[in-house]
Amino acid sequence: MVRSALERLIEADASNEPDEPPLADVANSSAQDLTYRDDNKETPGAPDPELPARLNTQRYAAVLEELVACGAKSVLDLGCGEGRLLRDLVKNSQFERIVGMDVSYKSLEIARKRLRFDAFDERQRARVDLLHGSLIYKDRRLQGFDAAAVVEVIEHLEPNRLESLAKVLFTQACPKHVVLTTPNKEYNSVWESLPAGQFRHADHRFEWTRAEFQAWGNRIAALYGYRVEYKGIGSEDPDRGTPTQLGVFHRD
């Protein structure tokens, strides 16, 4: 009964959490198809259709680098979406156990195809798993991992659900390392095609400045016994920082 009630709750939650558009659409979507004001370019303000793709690539590379550096052998990709990071994780033999989880069944189906999951041999099947679930509900399947990546996920949750996510992540799953990214709102004004005050993506419920992200991260780290360091991803503006901000939490 508990399981079926939970499944119903997860389904209800899924319908409230619109899916991230497929990657191809992300590159073409109006909010992401940003014009980049970069003084080093010959034509400042000229549309740079490659920018969202480039930032995505830099983001996955930075997250992967952190996961490799912390020596993790088992990794969770929470809010894995369509499996872009999972694809990189699968290619790296450091990772002996890889589990992606998402609330969107549709995204998981795409991830499954991308990873060619159905063609996996027995060894790969034992190594990689995709789970349907929501990060705001306790889930025993998330226990016992060395590290978790939470890439561009928190801003898709209503702010009042962040406490539940933090509790599930840092007390129930409690991996030794958490690599978490979120947009840096301060950087939005660098993109001239993004009207002032608008979020980067229609499904974002909030976007944080560096001070806001660090205030949240410091509070969560102190509350749950982690140490946290912050880094930037993407090209740096002297006043506004980088487009993506990264928090790496360690439980020593």
Binding site for ligand SAH (CB under 6 A): 17, 19-20, 79-81, 84, 102-104, 107, 134-136, 151-153, 156-157
Q: Compare residues 133 and 241 and give the one whose CB is closer to ligand SAH.
A: 133
CB 32, CB 26: distance < 8 Å: yes
Closest C-alpha among 174, 189, 184, 91 to residue 140: 174
Q: Compare residues 16 and 40 and give the one whose CB is closer to ligand SAH.
A: 16
- Smallest separation, CB 198 to ligand SAH (Å): 18
Strands laid side by side in the 244-250 sheet:
128-132, 97-102, 74-78, 147-151, 177-183, 244-250, 227-233
Q: Compare residues 38 and 58 and give the one whose CB is closer to ligand SAH.
A: 58
Q: Compare residues 9 and 69 and give the one whose CB is closer to ligand SAH.
A: 9
- Smallest separation, CB 235 to ligand SAH (Å): 19
- Phi and psi angles of residue 244, each rounded to the nearest 5 degrees, phi first: -115, 140
Distances (CA, A) of 204 to 18, 24, 57, 165, 207: 10, 19, 20, 16, 7
The residue number with the shortest CB distance to ligand SAH is 81
- Smallest separation, CB 149 to ligand SAH (Å): 7
Q: How far apart are CA 30 and CA 8, in angstroms?
A: 34
- Smallest separation, CB 190 to ligand SAH (Å): 21
- Smallest separation, CB 183 to ligand SAH (Å): 11
Q: Compare residues 164 and 192 and give the one whose CB is closer to ligand SAH.
A: 164
CB 74, CB 96: distance < 8 Å: yes
